[in-house]
Amino acid sequence: MVQKDNHKVMAIGISIFLSLMLWIYVMGEKNPVQTRVIDNVKVSLENTDNITRSNLVLLPKQDFTISISITGRVKDLIGVRSEELNFIADMSGYLKKGDNDIPVIVKSLPNGINISDNELPKVKVKLDTLSTRFVPVRIISKGTAKVGYEHINPITTPTGVMISGPKSYVDEVEKAVGRINIEGSQTKFTKTIPVEPINSEGKIVTNVSIEPKFVDVTVDIAPSKEVPIIVKTTGTLREGLILEQITSKVSTVRIVGSKEVLSKIKAIETESFNLTDITETVTKEIKLLIPRGVSIQSDIESVGVEVKVNKKGEKDFVVPLSITGKVDGFKYEINTKNINVKVNAVEDALKNIKEEDISCVLDVSTLSEGENTIQVKALLNKPGEISGITPDKIVVKVIKVTESNAQE
CATH of domain 34-120: 2.170.120
State the pLDDT at residue 239.
84
Q: What stretches of 143-188 adopt beta strand conformation (E)? A: 149-157, 160-166, 175-181
Q: What is the mean pLDDT of residues 308-333?
A: 89
The pairing of strands 209-211 and 294-296 is unpaired
CA distances from 41 to 66, 83, 285 (A): 5, 7, 64
State the pLDDT at residue 4.
54
Domain boundaries of the chain, sorted by first residue: 1-30, 34-120, 134-222, 225-311, 314-400
Q: pLDDT of 285-308, one tens digit each?
A: 999 999 998 988 777 899 999 999
- Burial of 377 from C-beta contacts in 10 A (0-12 / 13-18 / 19+): middle
Domain 225-311 coded CATH 2.170.120.40: yes
What span, in angstroms and rounded, lies between the C-alpha atoms of 324 and 364? 6
Q: Do the domains 225-311 and 34-120 match in fold?
A: yes
State the pLDDT at residue 242.
82
Q: What is the mean pLDDT of residues 358-364?
A: 89
State the pLDDT at residue 110.
92
Tell me how long the chain is. Answer: 408
What span, in angstroms and rounded, lies between the C-alpha atoms of 157 and 192? 9
- Does the pLDDT of residue 153 top 90, yes or no? no
State the pLDDT at residue 155.
92
Topology at the third CATH level for domain 134-222: RNA Polymerase Alpha Subunit; Chain A, domain 2 (2.170.120)
Residue 50's contacts (CB-CB under 8 Å, 6 or more residues apart) are 91, 92, 93, 95
Topology at the third CATH level for domain 314-400: RNA Polymerase Alpha Subunit; Chain A, domain 2 (2.170.120)
Q: pLDDT of 197-230, one tens digit each?
A: 999 999 999 999 999 999 999 998 899 999 999 9
- Does the pLDDT of residue 63 top 80, yes or no? yes
Lowest-confidence range among 13-27, 28-42, 327-341? 13-27
Q: What is the mean pLDDT of residues 371-381?
A: 90
State the pLDDT at residue 408.
57
Q: Specify whether the CB–CB gap between 38 and 85 falls below 8 A.
A: yes
Q: pLDDT of 226-254, one tens digit each?
A: 999 999 999 998 888 888 899 999 999 99
Q: pLDDT of 381-390, one tens digit each?
A: 988 889 999 9
- Does the pLDDT of residue 348 top 90, yes or no? no
* pLDDT bucket at 349, cuts 50 / 70 / 90: confident
State the pLDDT at residue 241.
85
